[in-house]
Amino acid sequence: MLRPYKKKANIAAGIWLASVGLLGYVGSRGQGNIWDNGDILSISSMVICMTAYWYAFWAYARAKGRSGAWGIILPIFSIIGLLTLAALRDLHPDDDASNGEENRDQ
């Protein structure tokens, strides 16, 4: 995997998880539909959640050496898309291995 994209994917996944927690909090306040009340916290957390979700898929696809289109299309299928992306062969298998060998020589 390409390390820069893998790091970006991990950061985006962390932001996504945090925004899901924020959405859970906002939804538990009992105000009904979060879009109807016009609360800026509700709308901004939903936008952050969706953006981080799509970006994490895109960066993970790029980390595996795939086109970014894989990361744009597969999130539509949710967990099936994630499993498909995880099962795809890594086109950059030597990146992590070569970095590990270089560190052992030093």
Which sequence spans correspond to the domains of the chain?
3-105
Which tokens hold the place of 6?
């893998």
Give 16's pLDDT tier (boundaries 50, 70, 90): very high
Global confidence as pTM: 0.75
The pLDDT of residue 105 = 46
